[in-house]
Chain A
Amino acid sequence: EVQLVESGGGLVQPGGSLRLSCATSGFTFSNYNINWVRQAPGRGLEWVSYISSSSSTIYYVDSVKGRFTISRDNAKNSLYLQMNSLRAEDTAVYYCARDLYGVQIDAGMDVWGQGTTVTVSS
């Protein structure tokens, strides 16, 4: 069974840091591009970041550039999101989501984790 399991969320003060993890199983992780997507309370989905299968290509939404860093360890079948200088507006459920295989620019996301909650508040 294909699975993505996020962890690492929690309550953090503004300006603080968190590192999210996404553990995967049931597929060849190193063959897939992966994303982080977030959803603020009562709001819609927002794409946050993308990393290609080999880590050679990385993208971020403008609002997190310079604060968040996406990375992966193909040997451990895991994805990460280092979040620094956190703001109240970063409060959300964070999902990792796998890109459709073999689709480069126009990929959608066919498998999602259950999400981990990040709350930024003093």
Chain B
Amino acid sequence: SYELTQPPSVSVSPGQTARIACSGDALPRHYAYWYQQKPGQAPILVIYKDSARPSGIPERFSGSSSGTTVTLTISGVQAEDEAAYYCQSTDISATYRKVFGGGTKLTVL
């Protein structure tokens, strides 16, 4: 079945740039979304439709797409950005379903 693949972990120092990739064969045909989830909290949408940023999300969060890979970039990482990040897209190959990547734990050193 269709899967989205993310690295399990990424580590950066404060002020550096973090990049989290998500790969999937159908990403050229379907939008990708990114969610931030801190321990014990519900997910928050940080990027929608590959690269759009919801109101209230800091400008340091950006998204991009190239072929079968989408990337979440966090510029000037802050300690408060430490969280798990999940990509999500759509699979309609057999029946409709929303698909999540396995999640990436961002550690701010």
Inter-chain contact B43/A112, CB cutoff 8 Å: yes
Closest chain-B Cβ to A91's Cβ sits at a distance in Å of: 17
Q: How many residues of B contact A (CB 8 A)?
A: 28
Residues of A within 8 A of B (CB): 35, 37, 44-47, 50, 59, 61, 95, 97, 100, 103, 105-110, 112-115
Inter-chain contact B103/A59, CB cutoff 8 Å: no
Inter-chain contact B54/A35, CB cutoff 8 Å: no
Residues of B within 8 A of A (CB): 30-31, 33, 35, 37, 41-45, 48-49, 54, 84, 86, 88-90, 92, 95-103
Closest chain-A Cβ to B40's Cβ sits at a distance in Å of: 10
Q: How far is the CA of A45 from the CA of B87 in the complex (A)?
A: 10
* The one of B35, B86, B90 that contacts A106, using a Cβ cutoff of 8 Å: B90
* The one of A47, A105, A110, A114 that contacts B100, using a Cβ cutoff of 8 Å: A47
Contacts of A114 in B (CB 8 A): 41-42
Inter-chain contact B88/A108, CB cutoff 8 Å: yes
